[in-house]
């Protein structure tokens, strides 16, 4: 669910953004924004549980793959996204994901920051999204009907 907020301090529930279980770890979400000629980076630490961090790490690029990437002048990314990652996602779904997990998408793929200073998150877990909107009500911008429904219930 897409949630747009403003502000530099947001509260994150102590709950895993993937499975909604108790969080004991975090994942960094990062995105850049260009204001004039300067680039500003925004980073958030989103709560995760260690089991979910394990499946996120499993489908991500590994250290040795960064070397492939350099050696192939970036072409390895094509192989990675077309072949390597889908295979890892399949095996992660079989062995690493819990029934309560929302999936293998990396959290950072679904975060955007816009020039008007708004941050848009896309939290797939409905329980996490619900707690997040209720603790950050004051920061919400243009809540979608979906988000309004969460606040109302
Ligand atoms: Zn989790
Ligand atoms: Zn998970």
Residue 26 CA to ligand 2 center (angstroms) comes to: 12
Q: How many domains, in total, are found in the chain?
A: 1
- DSSP label at 62? P
Contacts of residue 95, Cβ cutoff 8 Å, sequence gap at least 6? none
For the stretch 45-88, pLDDT in tens is 999 999 999 999 999 999 999 999 999 999 999 999 999 999 99
Mean pLDDT of the chain: 91
37 versus 57: which is more confidently predicted?
A: 57
**Spacing, Cα 124 to ligand 2 middle (Å):** 11
Q: Is residue 24 part of a domain?
A: yes
Q: Specify the pLDDT at position 104.
A: 87
Residue 78 lies in a domain: no
- Compute the C-alpha angle 116/32/71, nearest 5°: 160
Query: What separation in Å is there between the alpha carbon of 49 and the centre of ligand 2?
Result: 8
Question: In the chain, pLDDT over 70 holds for what percent of residues?
Answer: 98
Strand partners, 4: 120
25 alpha carbon – ligand 1 mean position (Å): 9
Q: Note whether residue 92 is domain-resident.
A: no
| pLDDT for the residue numbered 4 | 94
**pLDDT at residue 11 tops 80:** yes
Residues spanned by the domain of 144: 2-60+98-152
pTM of the model: 0.86
Domain for residue 110, yes or no? yes
- Nearest ligand, CA 49: 1
Q: Please report whether residue 23 resides in a domain.
A: yes
For residue 97, which ligand has an atom nearest its CA?
2
HEC profile for 94-146?
HHCCCCCCCCCCCHHHHCEECCCCEEEEECCCHHHHHHHHHHCHHHECCCCHH
Q: How far is the CA of 36 from the centre of ligand 1 (A)?
A: 39
Token reading at 77? 């990314």
pLDDT at 139 exceeding the cut of 80: yes
Ligand at minimal distance from the CA of 17 is 1
Which tokens in the block code for residue 62? 């590994």
- More confident of the two residues 36 and 97: 97
| Interval 101-126 mean pLDDT | 86
Give the model's pLDDT for residue 153: 61
CA angle 66, 70, 76 (to 5 degrees): 75
Give SS3 for 30: strand
Examine the pLDDT at 131 and tell me if it is beyond 90: yes
How far apart CA 149 and CA 43 sit, in angstroms, is: 28
């Amino acid at each position: 669910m897409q949630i747009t907020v403003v502000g530099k301090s947001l509260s994150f529930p102590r709950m895993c953004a993937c499975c909604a279980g108790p969080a004991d770890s975090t994942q960094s979400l990062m995105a850049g924004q260009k204001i004039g000629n300067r680039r500003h980076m925004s980073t958030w630490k989103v709560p995760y549980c260690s089991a979910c961090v394990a499946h996120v790490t499993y489908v991500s690029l590994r250290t040795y793959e960064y070397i492939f990437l350099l050696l192939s002048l970036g072409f390895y990314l094509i192989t990675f996204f077309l072949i390597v990652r889908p295979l890892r996602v399949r095996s992660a779904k079989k062995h690493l994901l819990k029934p309560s997990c929302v999936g293998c998408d990396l959290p950072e793929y679904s975060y955007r920051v816009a020039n008007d200073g708004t941050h848009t998150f896309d939290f797939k877990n409905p329980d996490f999204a619900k707690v997040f909107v209720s603790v950050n009500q004051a920061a919400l911008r243009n809540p979608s009907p979906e988000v309004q429904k969460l606040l109302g219930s």
